[in-house]
Amino acid sequence: MTVMTDRPHMLTEDFEAVARIAAREREGTRLEFIDGVIRSKAMPDGDHQMIIQWLTRIFLQHRPELWLHGGQGIKAQAYREGRAIPDAVLAPSKAFAGQGDWVDPAPILMAVEVTSWDSDTVRRDHVEKPRAYAETGIPVYLLIDRAKCEVSVYSQPNGQRYESIHIVPYGTDIALPDPVGITLQTEVLKDWVR
């Protein structure tokens, strides 16, 4: 009897080469490699960008020693063989200086995803990304779900998943636990709903 095991579609180095070529050939192409599978990531729309801009202003006011790095590729998952492109990551401003396209995630305090309007956003942002970020050890994962009008804060990664998930509707304040340590007032998110 043959036992089937999960194998990646390709080696991580091969994925990185494909991602570089795709980005060079087609503007806006963003590829990720999670659980050994290549996925494309939708281009952000105007409201998506406004949400990232809103978060950037909050962190500049409350945590000026940090920066919300937009679209930074990171080495993800337990053994860093995955490659993810969060919408933003919160880390010290110079955390990724001198690194290439896919950076070491150790300095990241929080990963941020804002849902898109593509067909696999639920699987990607609610299932694959939280698992990958928890395996990576990123302390906080902030998910802003524009379809559900909810904000989710995942925290306490245990190496496989986040132990704590707190979900509130837009308009409700939500605490981002340490090491982030601020509270978001989410009423403004109602302005960026379709």
Q: Domain limits of the chain?
A: 44-192
**CB contact at 8 A, 149 and 169:** yes
pLDDT at residue 20 greater than cutoff 80: no
Q: Which of 88-92, 109-113, 122-126 has the lowest mean pLDDT?
A: 122-126
Task: Give the strand pairing for 66-70 and 88-92.
Answer: antiparallel
DSSP letter string, 180-192:
T-EEE-GGGGGGG
Cis bond before residue 177 (omega within 30° of 0): no
> Which stretches of the chain are DSSP H helices?
12-25, 46-62, 121-122, 129-136
pLDDT at residue 52 greater than cutoff 80: yes
Please write the tens of the pLDDT for every residue from 131-179. 999 999 999 999 999 999 999 999 999 999 999 999 999 999 999 999 9
Question: What's the CATH number for 44-192?
Answer: 3.90.1570.10
Higher pLDDT, 76 or 168: 168
How far is 120 from 117, CA to CA, in rounded Å? 9
DSSP reduced 3-state for 12: helix
What the block records as the tokens of 64 is 């000026």
Residue with tokens 């396209």: 101
**CB contact at 8 A, 153 and 166:** yes
**CB contact at 8 A, 134 and 159:** yes
- What is residue 53's predicted lDDT score, i.e. its pLDDT? 96
- What is residue 1's predicted lDDT score, i.e. its pLDDT? 47
DSSP letter string, 30-63:
-EEEETTEEEE-PPP-HHHHHHHHHHHHHHHHH-
Long-range pairs of 154-158 with CB within 8 A, sequence gap ≥ 24: 154/130, 157/133, 158/134
pLDDT at residue 5 greater than cutoff 50: no
DSSP reduced 3-state for 113: strand
